[in-house]
Amino acid sequence: MKDYEQEDPIPQGDLALQLTALPRETNGFGDIYGGWLVSQMDLAGTAMASRVAGGRVATVSIDRMAFMVPVAVGAQLSFYTQTLEVGRSSIRMLVEVWSDDPLSSEWRKVTEAVFVFVAIDGSGRTRPVPPRRS
Ligand SMILES: CC(=O)SCCNC(=O)CCNC(=O)[C@H](O)C(C)(C)COP(=O)(O)OP(=O)(O)OC[C@H]1O[C@@H](n2cnc3c(N)ncnc32)[C@H](O)[C@@H]1OP(=O)(O)O
């Protein structure tokens, strides 16, 4: 994961979400916890996938992920998304999280994961992703 970080020093894709890590997102040790970060990644990916899908999507899978650096309270977090593949109803999307630490002023990649979203209709059944408009 560290090698990949060095080969890949800039965010991939489009900025989907920016927010500040607040004290309410911490665990009992006072540290930002991973589950909160994953849920923000899911929200950022959902927002972008629903644009591609032209409507409602559901998260069907998240690949393995590792947290490469800790996130400090007060850090500015940026979530980037890149569509990797569009299937009949599925959208594979890379979601990266980058942190701007207010104390160290360091800009670093925190984590990344590939999410798969599926376009669904009002009843929760899969539907085809509409063709891309050029
Ligand atoms: C449990 C929760 O509440 S988690 C929170 C939100 N997520 C959800 O609620 C999703 C719950 N899951 C579901 O409702 C169903 O799995 C559905 C409707 C998303 C998909 O139903 P399925 O019967 O798996 O549909 P189907 O087999 O046709 O697969 C649909 C697409 O998803 C892809 N897919 C299904 N499972 C996976 C998986 N585990 N990993 C990657 N892709 C997958 C398929 O390859 C297919 O892609 P394509 O249409 O582009 O070829």
Q: Is 116 in the pocket of ligand 1 (CB under 6 A)?
A: yes
Residue closest to 119 by CA, chosen among 111, 127, 110: 127
d(CA 34, CA 54): 30
Is the model's pLDDT at 104 over the cut of 50? yes
pLDDT digits (tens, 9 = 90+) for 108-118: 999 999 999 99
Measured in angstroms, how far is the CA atom of residue 58 from the centroid of ligand 1? 8
pLDDT at 1: 46
Residue 8 — very low, low, confident or very high, per pLDDT cuts 50/70/90?
low
* pLDDT value at residue 2: 46
- Work out the pLDDT band at 133, boundaries 50, 70, 90: low
The pLDDT, as a whole number, for residue 132 is 81
Q: Is 121 in the pocket of ligand 1 (CB under 6 A)?
A: no
Structure-derived torsion over alpha carbons of residues 125, 128, 133, 134, reported in degrees to the nearest 10: 140
What is the 84 CA–ligand 1 centroid distance (Å)? 17
pLDDT in tens, 54-77: 999 999 999 999 998 889 899 999
pLDDT in tens, 18-59: 999 999 999 988 889 999 999 999 999 999 999 999 999 999
Helix residue ranges, H only, the chain: 2-7, 34-53
Q: How far is the CA of 18 from the centre of ligand 1 (A)?
A: 28
- Which pLDDT value is given to residue 4? 45
> Above 50 in pLDDT, residue 86?
yes
